[in-house]
Structure 1
Amino acid sequence: MIGDFMLWLEETGSTQSVLKEFSFPYGTVVVANRQREGRGRFGRKWHSEEGGLYFSFLLRVEDFKELLPLPLVVSYGVLLQIERKGFKPMLKWVNDVYISGKKVCGVLVERSKEKVVVGVGINLNQKEFPSDLMATSLYMLKNEVSEKKEFLLETLEILNRVLEEFKTFGFEKFRPAIRQRLMFLGEEVVVYSQEPVVGIFEDIDQEGSLLLRTAQGLLKFNAGEVSLRGSNIF
């Protein structure tokens, strides 16, 4: 179970690094009030000041038949918790949660030999963000402070259930619900992978890959960034 052992730090470089560099039992959760070197995909810096909820947990590779959809599945689990609080979040393929066009959560999945380290950053109680970030927090949206430990435990409860179902039934069980909550589905987008590709975001397949309808035919992307064409949402 995720959270049977928990380490809560006032500050660290990144919760991901703690789990990757030291030996912990599977299911361990490392939480930090602040991260000096919080990061997202592609090594991007994750704004990790006081007020956010930053945690990572440890999974065993052999427990999962498929790892490719894991970022989407974890993001979906966090989305369910945010929905429970009365918000209407959406999933941005492949690993983000947005509300009203602004990011409230990011997920990072990294494999290190036989273990998988999953990092989650949730914008919980921050009162402001740098103007160059398309980000918001639950506090900024509702003017209500969330109790961090309670929010974490509720999120872990959902993630435990979702991940157990993912182990048993695979991604196909979640695909319909995730499709309903995907940003840009059916719209013209730009996918940034090795190079920008324009097309219609047609669907996600049974592995969680993005299917893009282009002039050259249907293309499949396992990773990358997707943005509505002509917008600055990344």
Structure 2
Amino acid sequence: MIGDFMLWLEETGSTQNILKEFSFPYGTVVVANRQWEGRGRFGRKWHSEEGGLYFSFLLRAEDFKELLPLPLVVGYGVLLQIERKGFKPMLKWVNDVYVSGKKVCGVLVERSKEKVVVGVGINLNQKEFPSDLMATSLYMLRNEVFEKKDFLLETLEILDRVLEEFKNFGFEKFRPAIRQRLMFLGEEVVVYSQEPVVGIFEDIDQEGSLLLRTAQGLLKFNAGKVSLRGSKIF
């Protein structure tokens, strides 16, 4: 079970790096109150100040038939926890959770040989963010302080259940529910991959890939960043 062994640190460079560089049992969770080398996809810096909930957990690659949709599935698990607190979150393909148009959670999945290290950053109790970030926290949305330990344990309980179902039944079990909660579905977007591509966000396929309807036909993206056309990249 995820969280049977847990290491909670006041601060560290990156919870991801600890699980990648050292030997721990599968299911181990590393939590930090602050990170000075927190990162998202493509090496982007993750704003990891006091107040957020930052944790990584260790999975075994061979336990999963599919790894490509894992960021979406983990994001969906976090979304369920945030929904349970009375918010109306949405998933932003491929690995973020948003509330009221601003980011509250990011997921990072990294494979290192037989290890899969999953990092989750949840904006829980921060009171402000730099003005250039399209980010908010649950505290800022409701003016309520959330108990970090309780929130973590509840989230891990949901993630453990969701990942067990994903292991047994695959992504197709989650695809309908995830589609209902996808930002920009059916709208004109720009996908930033190797180069920007404009089209209609038509669907996600059985692997969680984004299907984009363009003038050249239907294109498939396994990774990238998506924004509404004409809006700021975030």
Q: Same fold (TM over 0.5)?
A: yes
C-alpha displacement at 1:232, in angstroms? 1.2
C-alpha displacement at 1:97, in angstroms? 0.2
**Contact persistence 1:77–1:155 (CA under 8 A):** yes
C-alpha displacement at 1:170, in angstroms? 0.2
Aligned position for 1:51: 51
Aligned partners of 1:70, 1:32: CA distance in 2, in Å? 22
Aligned partners of 1:204, 1:153: CA distance in 2, in Å? 30
Aligned partners of 1:229, 1:206: CA distance in 2, in Å? 25
Aligned partners of 2:17, 2:164: CA distance in 1, in Å? 25
CA deviation profile, 1:166-215 (whole Å, cap 9, x unmatched)? 00000000000000000000000000000000000000000000000000
Aligned partners of 1:101, 1:87: CA distance in 2, in Å? 12
SS of residue paired to 1:168: helix
Aligned partners of 2:22, 2:167: CA distance in 1, in Å? 26
Aligned partners of 1:230, 1:89: CA distance in 2, in Å? 23
CA deviation profile, 1:120-158 (whole Å, cap 9, x unmatched)? 000000000000100000000000000000000000000
Aligned partners of 1:228, 1:63: CA distance in 2, in Å? 36
Residue segments in structure 2 that go unaligned for 5+ positions in a row: none
TM-score after normalising by structure 2: 1.00
Aligned partners of 1:40, 1:69: CA distance in 2, in Å? 17
SS of residue paired to 1:45: coil
Aligned position for 1:97: 97
Aligned partners of 1:134, 1:62: CA distance in 2, in Å? 36
1:198 matches 2:198? yes
**Contact persistence 1:107–1:119 (CA under 8 A):** yes
C-alpha displacement at 1:224, in angstroms? 0.3
Aligned position for 1:149: 149
Aligned partners of 1:116, 1:37: CA distance in 2, in Å? 19
Q: Show the 5 A alignment for 1:89-168.
A: 89-168=89-168
**Percent identity of the aligned residues?**
94
CA deviation profile, 1:88-147 (whole Å, cap 9, x unmatched)? 000000000001110000000000000100000000000000001000000000000000
SS of residue paired to 2:58: strand
Aligned partners of 1:106, 1:81: CA distance in 2, in Å? 14
Aligned partners of 2:174, 2:60: CA distance in 1, in Å? 21
SS of residue paired to 1:20: helix
**Contact persistence 1:134–1:233 (CA under 8 A):** no
**Contact persistence 1:101–1:233 (CA under 8 A):** no
Instruction: State the 4+ residue runs in structure 1 displaced beyond 6 angstroms.
Output: none
C-alpha displacement at 1:233, in angstroms? 4.6
Aligned position for 2:29: 29
CA deviation profile, 1:204-231 (whole Å, cap 9, x unmatched)? 0000000000000000000000000011
**Contact persistence 1:41–1:108 (CA under 8 A):** yes
C-alpha displacement at 1:84, in angstroms? 0.2
Aligned partners of 1:104, 1:118: CA distance in 2, in Å? 17
Aligned position for 2:216: 216
Superposition CA RMSD, Å:
0.4
C-alpha displacement at 1:80, in angstroms? 0.2
Aligned partners of 2:147, 2:233: CA distance in 1, in Å? 29
